Chains A and B, each alone.
Chain A
Amino acid sequence: MPFITLKHVKNFACRSVDLEIRDKEFLVLLGPNGSGKTTLLNAIAGHVEYQGNILFDEISIDRTPASKRGVGYLFQNLALFPHLDIAANIAYSLKVKKWSQQKIRERVGELLELVNIKHLASRYPANLSGGEKQRVALARALAASPEVLLLDEPMSSLDEQTSKYLRTELKRLQRRLGVTTIYVTHDLMEAVNIADRMAIVLEGMIEQVDEPEKMLFFPCNERVSDFIGAPNILDCDYCKSTAQGLMEVGCGELKLVVPHDGDTIHKIAILPRHVHVSGDKPRGPMANSFMAKVTDIMPRNDMVRLRIEVSDKEMVAEIPYHFYEQLDLAIGKEIYVIVRARKIRVFEYKNLSADKTGVE
């Protein structure tokens, strides 16, 4: 049974959105900037007007004001109150609900511990780092134990390392607390790494709702396919640590070095635009550089997609049209491909390595 149901929701940015979000699910709304993701989130939170119906647990909340919808909202800019210290920020919703001082103190202590920021209780938001602010905002959103947590691009202002770490923690917390979560992002790999299911939002409409892997392998139409860029997904046969923070993964005959210091890697994904092509042999060590053969050329607007054969694998590279002309490529021509280690995304969750027999 869905916990949140959107029926024909439309407004200035959304065009008749229908969506069902399951109880305790982690759903990611993925789409380019200006596609209506945040507006949809604001409609669920009650911050913008809309037509249609939104139901929580089959009860309409269309006439319920934002203050009574019982959602935790983590804004893109976090919106921590600058005039309140961290403990007071977290306690805000509890004070509004008139909890006793004793209960507030206990709950704030619990939350500070939950997100590992107990030492920051008396500081002000201006004195925190981006990652610390993120944790405070999360603790504040969770303070009143909301049934729904809405997160609007919460990692957008963080560096890759911090963002990756916090994503993992967020996922862990979400599972532990069992709160139905909707997470907005424009980053495909961020979505793939965190979502139970993903919903692709393009021009105010939901194009596809599916599990990440299904979405990557089976985009429902050309618009979705164009947006996600159908990444190259390679199964890994083995992985071993080579240096601090680096792992070597073997995908058939291909050996790649990826920045990773977590669990075993089951798959890696490389977006076509991150597969760089060169007519000349790259200088320096050949790490993540391979010889390849062009097997197909597919022009698309101002880009050209190349299907290439690399060892025993087939991959897709995407290059600008003018660069394609410079390279003077033809089917059967041999080229060099270079994959930048930082652009390789890794899948370490076991569920992503499950067979795909369920995919229609």
Chain B
Amino acid sequence: MKFLKAIRPGWGLLPVAIFLALWEIIARIDILPGNLLLPPFSEVVAEFYRLSMNGVLGENLLSSLIRVLIGFCAGSIAGVVTGTVMGWNRVADRAFNPLISLFYPIPILGWIPLLMLWIGINEMLPITLIFICSFFPVLYNTITGIKNVDKDYIRAARSLGASDMKVLTTVVIPLALPNIFTGFRLEAGMAWRVIIAAEMVAIPTGIGALLMKAESLIRIDIIIVCLIVLAIMCLISEKFFAYLENRITARWSQHAVHNP
């Protein structure tokens, strides 16, 4: 996949390599008591391999991934649709803005107790949390993107015969895409942070649940494996949207290179 090139580390790998070497040495010379609190990096890698091979890691990652995908897609679609309506229609903006302003500042984890009571401890709980977590930022970015489209583009499209709906779909939404994608990019990473919190609190499967089990067994190597997997998933998600954004807008950006 081309977007994986975007995360090709290059020279950025050097500090990581130094850090891992130091970690391995410190753990091996036994500064900390035994291997209990800081297992060597090589043992973490071995555990990663073992968990991958026996399917535990894949199974839990898949559970988390499905929740993130469903919640994120639903939240993003709802955010883009609502944001487009609010950004384009002044009446809708005035009607919904006070409500949105009221709910947006609520910390995402603050919703957990309420949602546990409303929808119970089941698959819908983390999905709903991710929905909320994705909805508001995507909504705000979409509104900003739609409202920031230069009025002359809209007037130009109208003068060229376009109806309001045509102006919206062929000019306004495409020009708002960079803003919308910024919302996607930021929230794709955030969704992973939220899913872990939800799974740690209430759900028996997923990377968050695996983390909690490892904590109760004092398996720091597994905890570190889970954290590394999370870091990679956050990075891939953010880079994926950064790549998409770049692919869509690079051709018409100021610094685009012309390919005859």
Measured CB to CB, the residues of A under 8 A from B are: 42, 45-47, 65-69, 71-73, 75, 77, 79, 81-84, 92-93, 96-97, 122-127, 140-141, 143-144
Contacts and interface: CB of A to CB of B under 8 A. Distances in A.
A75 B161 CA distance: 15
A97 B160 CA distance: 9
A96 B162 contact: yes
Contacts of B170: 92
Interface in B140-186: 150, 152-153, 155-163, 166, 170-171, 174-175, 177
Contacts of A96: 160-163, 166
A47 B251 CA distance: 30
Interface string B236-254: 0000000000000101111
Which of B162, B175, B253 gathers most chain A CB within 10 Å? B162
B253 A126 contact: yes
Nearest to B174: A83
B260 interface: yes
A125 B156 contact: no
A47 B258 contact: no
B29 interface: no
B106 interface: no
Contacts, number: 79
B155 A47 contact: yes
B18 interface: no
A75 B152 contact: yes
B252 A79 contact: no
Contact of A66 (B158, B251, B255): B158
A81 B153 contact: yes
B169 to A, nearest CB: 11
Contacts of A45: 155, 159
Nearest to B163: A67
Contact of B161 (A82, A83, A144): A144
Interface in B209-259: 249, 251-256, 258
A290 B174 CA distance: 60
B155 A83 contact: no
Contact of B152 (A77, A93, A144): A77
A73 B156 contact: yes
14 contacts: A47-B158, A47-B159, A67-B159, A67-B160, A81-B153, A81-B175, A83-B175, A83-B249, A83-B252, A84-B252, A124-B252, A126-B252, A127-B258, A144-B160
B223 to A, nearest CB: 46
B164 to A, nearest CB: 8
Given A122-B260, A124-B251, A79 B158 contact: no
B155 A73 contact: yes
B83 to A, nearest CB: 19
Contact of A140 (B160, B166, B171, B256): B160
Interface of B is mostly: helix
Contact of A127 (B153, B175, B256): B256
Contacts of A126: 252-256
B168 to A, nearest CB: 13
Nearest to A125: B252
A73 B157 contact: no
B65 to A, nearest CB: 32
B160 A65 contact: no
Given A83-B252, A124-B251, A126-B256, 14 more contacts: A45-B159, A47-B159, A67-B160, A67-B161, A68-B161, A75-B152, A79-B155, A81-B156, A81-B157, A82-B252, A83-B177, A93-B162, A124-B258, A127-B256
Given A83-B174, A93-B161, A144-B161, A75 B258 contact: no
B159 A82 contact: no
Nearest to A140: B160
Contact of A124 (B160, B162, B171, B256): B256
A83 B169 CA distance: 13
A42 B255 CA distance: 32
A72 B159 CA distance: 6
Nearest to A127: B258
A93 B160 contact: yes
Contacts of A66: 155, 158-159
B175 A65 contact: no
A205 B254 CA distance: 40
Contacts of B177: 83
A113 B201 CA distance: 67
A42 B158 CA distance: 12
A75 B256 contact: no
B162 A123 contact: no
Contacts of A77: 150, 152
A79 B258 contact: no
B245 to A, nearest CB: 13
